[in-house]
Amino acid sequence: MNTNQQPQPEGNKFVRILQPEGWETAQQILVILAHPDDPEFFCGATIARWTEAGHQVSYCLLTCGDKGTHDRQMSGERLCAIRHEEQKRAAAHLGVRRVRFLDFPDGYLIPDLELRRAITRVIREEKPDIVVTCDPQLLFVGEERINHPDHRAAGQACVDAVFPAARDHLYFPELLDAGLEPHVVREMWVSLPTEPNVRLDVTDHWERKIEAILCHQTQIADEDALRQRMKNRFAKDSSAEHPRFEEAFRRIRLG
C-alpha cells in the first residue's frame, strides 16, 4: 500500500489510507479556532496523533469563551480566566507546544479586517507549515444544531488571512514595518468540513481526545453522559464491539 496516497472518493465513500498526510519531516502546525475547547471537540484525536508522531502543534484561540455559561453568578471576566486555564490543561494533555489567546469578545466575532489582520500577524509570527481551522460554510450541524456564528467567522477570517494576506507583502504593510515578513502556508486542514476529502483513523487516540475535552469542566454538565456520547461516535463501518473512530477534514494544498 502506498501510505502517502490521499483517500480517493468512491461514490459517497472514501478509501482509507494508513498515513494519508505523507509528511516526510516534522511539521509546524498552527490550530486557529474560535473558543477554548474547539480544538479538542473538533479534532482533538488528530492533534494527539500528530504530536505523538513528532509534529509541533500550537493553538491560537480567537476568544476566551467568556459567554459560555448558564451560571448567573459567573462573570465574563472570571469565566475568561478559568477557560484560559482549562484550555492550557487540555492542550498539555494532547502534547500541544503553546497556546495563545487573542481574546476577542466571545459571540461577537465577525470576519472583518481587524480579525484578518490579527490572524495574519500570528501566521507571520508562527510561520506554520500547516494551518488548521474550521469550515466557514457550515451553518447547520445535522438536523438539530446550528453552528456557532463565531465558528463560521473564525473559519472565514482564517482562510482569508492564509490566502492572500499572510503571503503577500502589500497586505497590512504595518506588519511588514514591524518586521513580520510574508509567509506561505503549505496546507490548510479544515475541520467540520461540509465536503471532506480526508478521513483520518484516530481510533488509537480517541480516549485521549475525550480526556482532553474533560479538562473543560465549565462546559460539561454531565461527565458520564459526555463520555458515552463520544464513545458512540464511531465510524459507520465499525460497531460497538469493534469501534473505530475517524476525524474528517477538507485538505487544501497551497504551497
Q: Give the domain CATH number at 129.
A: 3.40.50.10320
The pLDDT score that the predictor gives to residue 20 is 79
Pairing status of strand 246-253 against strand 187-191: antiparallel
Which residue from 143, 133, 162 is spatially nearest to 42, judged by alpha carbons?
133
- The answer to the question of residue 166 being in a domain is yes
Do the domain assignments include residue 16? no
Average pLDDT over residues 244-252: 97
Domain-located, residue 59:
yes
- Domain presence at residue 7: no
- Nearest residue to 104 (alpha-carbon basis) of 157, 165, 61: 61
Q: pLDDT tens-digit profile of 107-151?
A: 999 999 999 999 999 999 999 999 999 999 999 998 889 999 999
Q: How far apart are alpha carbons 2 and 18 in whole angstroms?
A: 9
Instruction: Express each pLDDT in 155-207 by its tens digit.
Output: 999 999 999 999 999 999 999 999 999 999 999 999 999 999 999 999 999 99
pLDDT reported for residue 54: 96
pTM for this prediction: 0.91
pLDDT for 110: 97
User: For residue 231, what are the domain limits?
Assistant: 26-253
The CA radius of gyration of the chain, in Å to the nearest whole number, is 18
In a domain, 46, yes or no: yes
The total of structural domains in the chain comes to 1
C-alpha cell at 90: 487540555
Residue 12 inside a domain? The answer is no
The residues, ordered by sequence, that sit 6+ positions from 192 with a Cβ below 8 Å of its Cβ are 42, 134, 135, 138, 141, 147, 151
- State residue 32's pLDDT score: 99
Q: What pLDDT score was predicted for residue 3?
A: 36
